[in-house]
Structure 1
Amino acid sequence: MTDETPPLALDIDGTLTDGTGRLDPRAFEYLQAWDATVVLATGKAFPYPVSLSHYLGLELTVIAENGGVVLADDTVSYQGDRERAQAAADAFVERGGDIGWGSFDAINEWRRTEIAVNRSADEELLRSVAAEFDLEVFDTGYAYHVKTPGVEKGTGLRAVAETLGRDPDDFVAIGDSENDVSTFDVAGRSFAVANADAAARDAADAVVEGSYFDGTASVLESLADE
């Protein structure tokens, strides 16, 4: 690696994982050797990317909950309104909706800024209720996220860059889903892995041949050779 090694903004699911959803063990080797900032950017609740960064041996620099929570340089900021999202979720359930995660809701237990609803839920009812609370419903392909409008991974990346004194254009983003589109728009360069959905493929500067971490590894190898 050289002094010009670019900082990274990496999605987790579908990007650092294999086809079964498990973290690819090669991520440890590749990311621990990366001589620049690595930002883990995910739709998952805040503790997940923090824990993963810890076990990967990375500085704790994360974007969680689709941009709702940002941690950089030991500073945490919140961009979304969890109380309003919870109120909308409660109203959804009162009207016959089902959040869909079972009696112990591990998906939302540690969320700070939004509520995630299983995609088996009544989408029409959910969107109607969310609109009453001036919230939006974002479909990540994994869940419906009830969140504050305008909060995206890309806004989180801008916040990280500002905190670190970097230009967002310095970052290289890799992802696979519609919720990575805003990150692709903010970063200087963007890559979609081959398993990416149509929105991510259309937004990325390039779509690589490999799927899941195979695709991510190919991007990191190419960047290292520049």
Structure 2
Amino acid sequence: MTPPLALDIDGTLTTPQGTIDPRAFDVLPAWDAPVVLATGKSFPYPVTLCHFLGVPETVVAENGGVVLADQQVSFTGDRERAAAVAEEFEARGGDLGWGAADTINRWRETEIAIHVDSDEELLREVALEYDMEVVDTGYAYHVKSPGVEKGAGLQEVADILGLDAADFVAVGDSENDVSTFHVVDESYAVANADDRARAAADVVLEEGYMDGTLSVLHEIADR
């Protein structure tokens, strides 16, 4: 029986240059089980990727802050408090790092993301004052409400779909994937994964990025 998948996007379905690996358009639409895109990106990104992949829109976005499954959408997290952290961070000399348009946060509904070249120490100091968390995905610092995690989002998706979250196979590459790894029975960190993801995964793959993800999918298909 083909298991459902919980797949991160950046570093997992991408090339080392950060673009979506075109091989995803071959393997994921043909997958004979639900595919959940679980990401730190804002809500429109995974929804759009599902659309262009031609798979049902089933996503965990914003590190668990937004969940979409079977046309049901839920939001968890205090966007206003996250925005207050960002405002205070800037008032103390910090820089969000995305430029005037800030397309990274423009459609973000439950958290705020800050560029990884920004002042991490200052950001964490301000976030602590507002009782907010900072998660480092390797691509951005995410200011979010405590307890909002991808793993909780995947559990919600599984409940909506009538599945057991433990039956999912998860693949990821960073700190924000750890909670997902904890709710599934089979988890993989690609070779480019950070230390926390590597420590939490059942298996650390020899291949990185989409090469690593494909190795898992091919292995499952051959069982």
**Partners of 2:91 and 2:203 in 1: how far apart?**
45
Unaligned ranges ≥5, structure 2 = none
TM-score, structure 1 normalization: 0.96
Q: Deviations over 1:171-202 (max 9, x none)?
A: 00001111111111111210111111111111
Task: Give the superposition deviation at 1:14.
Answer: 0.8
Matches within 5 A, 1:94-133: 94-133=91-130
**Structure 1 residue aligned with 2:179:** 182
Q: What's the offset of the Cα at 1:165?
A: 1.1
Identity percentage of aligned residues: 68
Matches within 5 A, 1:60-139: 60-139=57-136
Matched with 2:137 is 140
The Cα shift of 1:161 comes to 0.7
- Counterpart of 1:192? 189
Which secondary structure does the structure 1 equivalent of 2:48 belong to? helix
Please report the RMSD computed on the Cα atoms of aligned residues, expressed in angstroms. 0.9
Larger deviation, residues 216-225 vs 192-201: 192-201
CA distance in 1, matches of 2:121, 2:159: 38
Q: Structure 2 CA distance, aligned partners of 1:155 and 1:129?
A: 25
Q: Which amino acid aligns with 2:133?
A: E
The Cα of 1:154 is off from its aligned counterpart by 0.6
1:72 to partner: Cα distance: 0.6
- Counterpart AA for 1:165: G
Q: Which runs of 5+ in 1 are unaligned?
A: none
- Name the amino acid aligned to 1:74: Q
1:21 counterpart residue number: 18
Q: CA deviation at 1:36?
A: 0.3
Aligned residues: 223
**Post-superposition shift, 1:85?**
0.7
1:129 and 1:201 map into 2 onto residues whose CA distance is 29
Q: Counterparts of 1:212 and 1:96 in 2: how far apart (Å)?
A: 35
CA contact (8 A) 2:112 2:144 kept: yes
For residues 28-50 of structure 1, the C-alpha deviation after alignment (integer angstroms, 9 at most, x for no partner) is 11001100000000000100000
Amino acid aligned to 2:179: S
Q: Residues 41 and 63 of structure 2 are in contact (CA less than 8 Å); yes or no, is this contact kept in structure 1?
A: yes
Aligned counterpart for 1:8 among listed residues 1, 5, 8: 5
Residue identity matched to 1:124: E
- Distance in 1 of aligned mates of 2:8 and 2:51: 16
Is 2:61 the partner of 1:36?
Answer: no
- The alignment status of 1:57 with 2:54, answered yes or no, reads yes
Looking at structure 2, the residues matched to 65 and 215 of structure 1 have their Cα atoms a distance apart, in angstroms, of 23
Letter in 2 for 1:27: A
Runs of 4+ in 1 over 6 A off after TM superposition: none
User: What is the aligned partner in structure 2 of residue 158 from structure 1?
Assistant: 155
